[in-house]
Structure 1
Amino acid sequence: MRKGYLVIDVGTGNTKAAIVTCDGQIISEHVMDTNYIYEDDMQCHFSPEEFWEDILHVVEQCVAEAKDIHIMSITSTSIRQGIILLDEQGKGIIGLPNIDNRGAYLESRYDKEYIYNKTGKWAARYFSAFKLVAYLESHPATSHQVKKIVSISDWIGYKFTGVLKYEHTQACETLLYDMATSTWSKELCELFDVDFALLPELVESAAKLGCVSREYSYLFPNTGEINYIVSSADTQVAAFGIGANVGDTIIIAGTTTPIISITKDFMVDKQKRCWSNRYIYEHTYVLEVNAGVTGLNYQRFKHNCLQSYTYEALENRYAHMDKPKVLVCLSTLDFATASPTNNGTIQLETPIDASLDMVDFAYGIILDIVCGIRRNLDVLADINGIIGPIIGVGGGLRSPLMCQLIADLTQKPLLIYEGYEQGSIRGCVLTCNKYNNVALNARKKLMTYTPKNNNWIEDYFVKWCDVREKSNESTDS
């Protein structure tokens, strides 16, 4: 009987459960959409208990299709910045995902300089403390019921084992974590007026949280005692999945596009043009820039406007395109100016080209992602020095066109390794392997995209930056 793991990967739009062998072969996989409740344009949440029932359903489906796999361990990763609030009995009160921006009104309240130097992050709505404080302030009648907060993936571990802890790479996304000491910060809790007792004990990635409780043993009829192994946040675990370590620069192309460099030291930028995070190893850190919402724009545009096209058919169309007819600026973060961008821009030359169609707009969105990557890589290089070859991971890099354009615009080789499209799942497998003393396979390179001389892309990028900056100015005003 082959050995493997149950991996649960919680994304922004959906959650994936998979049974995976120790060498990374996916045996069964099922996906469920997350049911968000939108209170208004800024606020959304989900029901933890309904979410858990949906997770159990996809887990059952996966296990039923993988009866020949001996499941040694379970693990989970999830979107950063998302949290679940628990009551005294440990029941989920509400889930606040990464896309919940209810704390935006708080951004002018706090000392931005102090928070950035302490946490390595902006005092911004994206992070969990802002969501928590905004919820507590808007629900005074029930706020006293909140006894603990936890990341989504750590909550899954809690549900399976009854043991509540908070993993470091998730904890650093709260703004309640001191990056220099790798501990919860009482000073930051006082600043946000958050009860320090809400914070669970911290735990390192690849540690055993506990054993799966008898309550859920029915899910695994052919397997004995199962360990639950702690995994890190989705960005860090995806980098780990392709073997990234100190000195590497990685593009993680998904719903958003984090671009990270792994360092030995905790660093901050005087101009606040990067975020600093923990990596999965103790005393190892991540410098991050991020183009914000990118891949999600492309997915939604295709779903809304190009349903008759497969992604492969779109790639075939792109292969016959040269200079784009549409300039698009839709990404939501600009680290060059240390600011969010709430306004999108689409520009066309006039008169409108007679052959213009919706595929041209999709092509423009891909170039928006590519330009966002280049702009942020320039910032990262300015902060952390010369960047060598870039490693790519994430489902967004299934597009050969986008990969080649990244290499062309950055004039750096883009290296793609085996398992890149399932980076989070592969990273979770390697995390379980680490705990179970299973030899970690060396990463295998699939493709190198070598930079080509492109006679229009640099000029296009300069124009894109100009449009991006003007869009920022209109946001500020």
Structure 2
Amino acid sequence: MTLKPAYLVADIGTGNVRVAIADTSGTILGVASGDMRYEKDVHYPESIFFDPNALWVQIKNLAKDALAQAGPVTVTAITATSQREGIVALDGAGNPLLGMPNIDHRGREWEGATPDKHEIYALTGRYPTSLFSALKLVGLRNRRPEIWQKVSAIVSISDWAQYMFGGKLGYEHSQASETLLYDVARGEWSERLCAKFGLNASLLPSLVHSGSILGRVLPETARELGIADSAVVVVGGSDTQLAIMSMAPSVEDIVIVSGTTTPIIKIASHYLTDPHERTWTNRHTDNASFLLEANAGVTGLNYQRLKEIFYPNEPYEQIETEVAAIRDTHCVAALGSLLAGEQAPLTRGGFVFNTPVSHQLSRAHFVWATLWDIACSIAENYQVLREVARHDRDYVWMCGGGVQSKLLRQFIANLLGKKVMIRTNYRQASVSGGVVVCNNASGIPNSAPRTLEVTEPDGDAIYAGWYEDWKCARRAFKSSH
């Protein structure tokens, strides 16, 4: 009996890690997930790390669970996608020394010492901050010399996972865009940028394109997982880029990826940057396009944590029903999301409501306020993108777990004055993107998933007043700190 061919996709996000088994059409046959596990690094005011060895064990265990769910299949290809900006440091033997996620800010103390910030922006498409990999390395070098002296190479988290599966090291271009050491327009590592941070370019592995084949899975890994050792390891890329690929958008489209954070991205045919240095410019995993981005920061994570507090056991459908019934602003939130036009992020936020506390104030108001905060932050960042590059189309695409909220989609449609469109694969978009790159590597044509739903702006005038309430709340929190 010939078994159905399938792909194994490891997806290592900021909050969760999951492994999915999917067939060549993108149908998910099995998926297992768990929390990303972080520890605080006490050597820095704002630093967390993860143990790559423990993460590898977790990935393999999740893979076994997903394979068991999938039933009899032949895994023909393996790929990985991950959070951007995160890196793994390796020693000379290829053993992991330390995992530094995107939310690790061990380099914050040295941001001010970064020279030639405007030149760095021109070359990398992003203003240098501790979010990006180079400053994580500066922080590691300056305060943890006992680790730094052992570092022989650094690699993105998805590229590290592929290295663990197949034993071949490479750095994919969309992930390299996040390092501050990569010339985004030229598509190559930059000795000039490395010198600005005092880093040796020998730390950087050879660049590899998404969709290329690194080699075969290691025999010992194949045996442990119970898959054929003929499976190839395919270069994936960053989770945002793969999610966008899975939506099959066109150049000039805008895609909003609603996850732990919310990138708002315009697909461009050429390298462009913002004269005011508010946006990021990235390489795309289609190996041809560029992505102009404004990012609303931590959004979906706020919603998830509020759900755990107010609706710990209730399904999303019940939350949506209660929240959709609200037609007042008894509660407004400003929860630390990012606005591209602001010089500094909101570091302390909260909820604003009238006192004494009204008997009408309910748990649904707090979740409503959180969704409205996300929508308003997206709208503000969208306007910045429009200032940098026009967007004349009457729609935007959305994908990611946050999109399951119909109310959020309606909020965004009304604030942007655009149709919000989602496809059938919106919830597992990064995994679907992994299927796309495996198909590309295997010579199998991809077909765009069908459009699932279109949310039209409803023209309700009440939204303008709510928007002003949100702006006032945000200004109040910013002025108090």
Question: Does residue 352 of structure 1 match 2:357?
Answer: yes
Q: CA deviation at 1:473?
A: 4.8
The amino acid that maps onto 2:59 is I
Aligned equivalent of 1:36: 38
Aligned with residue 297 of structure 1, among 289, 293, 302: 302
Aligned equivalent of 2:16: 14
Separation in structure 1 between the aligned mates of residue 476 and residue 147 of structure 2, nearest angstrom: 43
Aligned equivalent of 1:189: 194
Other structure's SS at 1:136 match: helix
Aligned equivalent of 2:237: 232
Q: Does the 8 A contact of 1:117 with 1:268 survive in 2?
A: yes
Q: How does 1:237-386 map to 2 (within 5 A)?
A: 237-386=242-391
Aligned with residue 421 of structure 1, among 406, 424, 427: 427
Separation in structure 2 between the aligned mates of residue 51 and residue 445 of structure 1, nearest angstrom: 35
Q: CA deviation at 1:443?
A: 2.6
Taking only the aligned residue pairs, the percentage that are identical comes to 35
Q: CA RMSD in A?
A: 1.5
Aligned with residue 55 of structure 2, among 46, 51, 55: 51
Aligned equivalent of 1:163: 168
Other structure's SS at 2:7 match: strand
Separation in structure 2 between the aligned mates of residue 473 and residue 382 of structure 1, nearest angstrom: 26
Residues 370-394 of structure 1: per-residue CA shift (max 9 Å, x gap):
1011111111111101342100110
Q: Which runs of 5+ in 2 are unaligned?
A: none
Q: CA deviation at 1:309?
A: 2.7
Q: Does the 8 A contact of 1:38 with 1:44 survive in 2?
A: yes
Q: CA deviation at 1:470?
A: 4.8
Q: CA deviation at 1:445?
A: 0.6
The amino acid that maps onto 2:374 is I
Residues 67-118 of structure 1: per-residue CA shift (max 9 Å, x gap):
4211110000000000000001100000000111111112211132121111
Q: Does the 8 A contact of 2:81 with 2:239 survive in 1?
A: yes
Q: CA deviation at 1:224?
A: 4.5
Aligned equivalent of 2:415: 409
Question: Does residue 87 of structure 1 match 2:79?
Answer: no
Aligned equivalent of 2:77: 73
Moved more, 403-412 or 462-471: 462-471
Q: Does the 8 A contact of 1:271 with 1:338 survive in 2?
A: no
Separation in structure 2 between the aligned mates of residue 168 and residue 338 of structure 1, nearest angstrom: 28
Other structure's SS at 2:255 match: strand
Aligned equivalent of 2:100: 96
Q: CA deviation at 1:170?
A: 0.2
Q: Does the 8 A contact of 1:381 with 1:387 survive in 2?
A: no
Question: Does residue 439 of structure 1 match 2:470?
Answer: no
Q: Does the 8 A contact of 2:91 with 2:150 survive in 1?
A: yes
Q: Does the 8 A contact of 1:291 with 1:334 survive in 2?
A: yes
Separation in structure 1 between the aligned mates of residue 88 and residue 5 of structure 2, nearest angstrom: 32
Residues 323-356 of structure 1: per-residue CA shift (max 9 Å, x gap):
2311101133110225322121421123432121
Moved more, 67-76 or 38-47: 38-47
Residues 141-200 of structure 1: per-residue CA shift (max 9 Å, x gap):
331100000000000111111110000000010101011211111011110011110000
Q: CA deviation at 1:304?
A: 2.7
Q: Does the 8 A contact of 2:252 with 2:391 survive in 1?
A: no
Q: CA deviation at 1:208?
A: 0.3
The amino acid that maps onto 1:266 is Y
How many residue pairs align between the two structures? 475
Residues 122-142 of structure 1: per-residue CA shift (max 9 Å, x gap):
111111111111011111133
Aligned equivalent of 2:177: 172
Separation in structure 2 between the aligned mates of residue 144 and residue 474 of structure 1, nearest angstrom: 43
The amino acid that maps onto 2:72 is D
Separation in structure 2 between the aligned mates of residue 235 and residue 196 of structure 1, nearest angstrom: 26
Q: CA deviation at 1:220?
A: 4.6
Separation in structure 2 between the aligned mates of residue 251 and residue 268 of structure 1, nearest angstrom: 19
Q: CA deviation at 1:9?
A: 0.4
Q: Does the 8 A contact of 1:274 with 1:338 survive in 2?
A: no
TM-score, with structure 1 as normaliser: 0.96
Q: Does the 8 A contact of 2:379 with 2:415 survive in 1?
A: yes
Aligned equivalent of 2:397: 391
Separation in structure 2 between the aligned mates of residue 353 and residue 412 of structure 1, nearest angstrom: 35
Other structure's SS at 1:63 match: helix
Q: Which runs of 5+ in 1 are unaligned?
A: none
Separation in structure 1 between the aligned mates of residue 447 and residue 74 of structure 2, nearest angstrom: 20
